[in-house]
Amino acid sequence: MRVITDTKNLSQACASLGRAEFVAIDTEFMRETTFWPDLCLIQMAAGEDEIIVDTLADGIDLAPFYELMADEDVTKVFHAARQDIEIVHHQAGIIPTPVFDTQIAAMVCGFGESVSYGMLVKKMLNQEIDKSSRFTDWSRRPLTNKQLTYAIGDVTNLRDLYPSLRDQLHQNKRENWLDEEMAVLTNPGTYESHPENAWRRLKMRVRNQKALGVMIELAAWRETEAQRQNVPRRRVLKDEAIYDIAAQAPTSEAELSGLRSVHQGFARSAKGKSVIEAVKLGLERDTATLPSIKRNEPLPPDSLAIMDLLRVLLKAAAGRHGVATKLIATASELEEIARNENTDLPSLKGWRRELFGSDAIAVCQGRLGLSVENGRVVTFEKNHPSEPNDTTAELEENVVHKASQT
């Protein structure tokens, strides 16, 4: 294991790593007090090379590392890669490519839902990981030997996991399945932060279009301020306050100061004035141009029964093919299929459609039934399928049309 603290040695190390077929990579970062993650360490392993890069060392330039990330001749192996890729994209404006995510690969290979790194190492390498250093402060210097040992272990184990997972995917002829997932993971749009879409992160809902317009403006203002100040969103304005302000729509200092969700004096501050301006902008928005408000209406009894059938179908398909159910379809997708509301779903496209989507539509249309044979759930085509109604016929037509566009 080498700890690199200067640009010259980093450049030499990256040149050596660049001759490898693949490089296992992990990062340690802190973001508890910032909007953007603060990169503290980079760990890399390939062949006999085991390297830790101290990204906080004085004067170090990470350009050689980012060049390696952009090298299309070297596969970058991560576990749960999204945050690592987000850091690289934010710091250097590039997306590592090509990428292999061992967490997603493990789900495709049947290791369960969002399998943890420690569990995967245990199952495949028969090793236990010491997690005692996982939540240490990686920004403090000097780093202890225990921290360094923990950090490098993440990539040395990853280096050993990759060939086995890659071989399993090849044997199961599922490389293209992973390719579809990696295409999403390496799409720059996955990591772009647009303030006008920040309201979609909020779990709370408003009751009318006017309040929605205000919420959109408030969330956009908060996102912009959080990025500008590089502080967590909650430091600018808490979610509960956004919901309260959107519902009450205060347009004056007095009205804003009367809300329980903001502290005394907030309305007189610069933030308070900006909030009032955002409220006014929200109220001025044309409600006809705003997204429709999704009502959390309960499924009707028939749709509930259909959703139960879809759950059984999903579990049977996942078990038969050895794939995590969560990777095929989420509970919300099952509900939308049962409602016949949305055909533009991942579970109705690509390899998911082959495993589950087509059968799910056929079940909803009454063309496919479920039965039990020898203790296993199986599907069968009905001898006299009922004519699909206009809604289900339209569903199938939309799915085929949209799948052909993707």
- Note the pLDDT tens digit of each residue in 163-197: 999 999 999 999 999 999 999 999 999 998 899 99
pLDDT at 384: 56
**CA gap 37, 56 in Å, rounded:** 13
Q: For 45-59, 111-125, 256-270, which range has the lowest pLDDT when averaged over its residues?
A: 111-125
Q: Could you report how far apart the first and last alpha carbons of the chain are, in Å?
A: 45
**CA gap 365, 225 in Å, rounded:** 49
**CA gap 5, 199 in Å, rounded:** 41
* pLDDT higher than 90, residue 391: no
Domains of the chain: 2-191 (3.30.420.10), 195-289 (1.10.150.80), 301-405 (no CATH)
pLDDT at 315: 94
pLDDT at 295: 65
pLDDT at 339: 84
Q: If DSSP codes are grouped into helix, strand and coil, which group holds residue 40?
A: strand
| Mean pLDDT of all residues belonging to the chain | 90
CB-based contact 160:125 (threshold 8 Å): yes
pLDDT at 400: 47
- Residue-wise pLDDT for 282-323, tens only, equals 999 999 999 887 766 677 888 889 999 999 999 999 999 989
* pLDDT higher than 80, residue 159: yes
pLDDT at 139: 95
pLDDT at 403: 46
At 171, the amino acid letter reads Q
- Residue-wise pLDDT for 332-389, tens only, equals 899 989 987 567 899 999 999 999 999 999 999 899 999 999 889 989 998 654 444 4
Q: What percent of the chain has a predicted confidence (pLDDT) above 90?
A: 77
CB-based contact 237:218 (threshold 8 Å): yes
Q: pTM to 2 decimals?
A: 0.83
Query: How does residue 85 score in pLDDT terms, banded at 50, 70 and 90?
Result: very high
- CA within 13 Å, CB half, 45: 19
Mean per-residue pLDDT for 70-93? 96
Residues paired with residue 45 on neighbouring β-strands, in sequence order: 24, 50
